[in-house]
Amino acid sequence: MSVEAALAERLGLRDRTLRYNLSKEELFHEAIANDRGRIRPDGPDDEQKAHATQLGVEGPLVYYTDPSCTGRPVNDTFAVAWPEIEGSVWWKNSLKAYDPTAYEGLLRRVVEHVNGRDKQLYVKDVFVGVDAEYAVPYRFVGEYATHALFAHNMFPKEVPGARDSDDVRWTMLNVPSFHCEPERDGSLSRRVVIIDFRNRICLVAGRADYCGVNKKTIFTVMNYMLPESGMLPMHCAANVGADEDAAILFGLSGTGKTTLSADPDRRLIGDDETAWTDSGISNLEDGCYAKLIDLDKEAEPIIAAALSMPGTIIENVPALPGKPMEETDPQDLDLTDRSITENTRFSYPLDCNPNVAEGARGSHPQTIVLLTADAFGVLPPISILNGEEVMYHFVQGFTSKLAGTEVGVTAPQATFSSCFGAPFMSQRPEVYAKLLRDKMEKHQARCVLLNTGWQGGPAGQAPRISIKDTRNLLNAALRGDLHRDGAEYAEHPIFRLRMPKQCEGVDPNVLDPRSSWRDTAAYDVAAEKLRDMFRANFKKGGFGDLGSDPLA
């Protein structure tokens, strides 16, 4: 079936000019010429959203989202509550139920809106997943060439052996120019992101033009589908060493997932979305979507170099004062500028990394790393976890926000995100936790909790754990040093975590967080306070079915 016929049958789109599977160079020029919308809070809806730099088509595309959508619009993200899936979806604030009748009416109106506009649509056919065992064909259809270029960067274009037919294909319709009317459409605001599991449709309408919507929405789909086949979708980075020793690194934003997975001595599988199947681990995507704020170019040379590569997308980094973007070298951009958002981003193909694992896949992981960035200065730099503790810390998904990074945050705040990616997890956390433990035990994987946060006191009063110590701790974990027979541990008095007493290249005094505080009584108070936050979140999440709470 032709693309035109498929879109008419699936969505009702008719007589549209389709710009189908354009190259990244063509999409670059189309984005600059045609992507128009709001980029300032009080600005018009026809401003230029995409710009070239001094490098032209040989460099990145700089793109500006609507100022109300500089991150994933979690409060406006839904799934259609069809009867056949209503009981299995993990309904929550970041994935609410949408009335089926209201959805059908809204979809019809969005399609009528598109059919009535004399505008071209950009269509890009890709796959989600590099492994034919589970890869799903994914068709992006939208108003912005930038979004089609993003899909080109972030997803594999071919997966040998994968089914590529309309009966399994998912389609995203992305229409920023349509604004919802809540009373009529059943939405909560003038924008929506809706997953329709029955008809394999992702609908994005209104001011939801953050590039990440185009990948996180379909990953939410995969997070629902893969466990049905006994496969584990994971919000994690993955890499593999010279001895084919694979590792996965779970972690929320700011914990170091992208930085630590980009190891010159290990081949990268991916930095964000990974599947663990009976064959091993593999990337769900073909690109990277890294945070740019405060990027240290010396510490992260791969990302820094990709800033100047053709076809990449720099999102929401402001222009330099008094200098047009078209005259700016991308290496000169101020990556500390938060005037648009804290969440500045960068999309680039996986092959911008010089050391990618063949096929972006690897064997069953030998090491599982749960990353956290404890701004309270309480948790050990590294802890050894058994299967029960893995499940406990996995469903908790703890990290912390720092003072000053968000409006209203004046002191460190605990953040709990189940499975280290709760907004994208469409089944209950227990589903993923049990799969993780089963696979970990079947393949005899070891696990550590690696803290990249602060030591000697809370953030603002003490330094962050050095990247050198973090690297040495991670390398020791990857080698298996911390799990060897004869390794000695101390037990944390409050969190009951096993802390290694020795690690090559790390001062033993660093390994026990209590000893790094001048005021050990203050440490105990801080640790007990954080422990109580863990207990409260475990109870709130209803995670008792997983077994005993190690902090009870």
Active-site positions read 72, 216, 235, 253, 257-258, 272, 345
- Using only C-alpha atoms, the chain has a radius of gyration, in whole angstroms, of 23
> Phi then psi for 480, rounded to 5 degrees?
90, 10
SS3 category, 371: strand
The number of angstroms, rounded, from the C-alpha of 457 to the middle of its chain's C-alpha atoms is 29
The number of angstroms, rounded, from the C-alpha of 340 to the middle of its chain's C-alpha atoms is 20
What is the total residue count of the chain? 552
CA distance 377 to 383: 14
Structure tokens at 544: 């008792």
CA distance 401 to 305: 28
CA distance 345 to 100: 34
End-to-end C-alpha distance for the chain, whole angstroms: 59
Structure tokens at 101: 């009748």
CA distance 359 to 499: 36
**Helical segments of 378-495, H only:** 387-396, 429-442, 467-479
The tokens 């505008």 sit on which residue? 119
Provide the 10 A C-beta neighbour count for residue 9.
Answer: 11
Beta-sheet pairing, 280-283 with 47-48: unpaired
Residue partners of 344: CB distance under 8 A and separation at least 6: 291, 292, 293, 314, 315, 316, 317, 335, 337, 338
Strands (E), 241-366: 246-250, 267-270, 273-277, 280-283, 287-291, 313-315, 345-349, 361-362
Q: Which of 281, 288, 312 is nearest to 212 (CA)?
A: 288
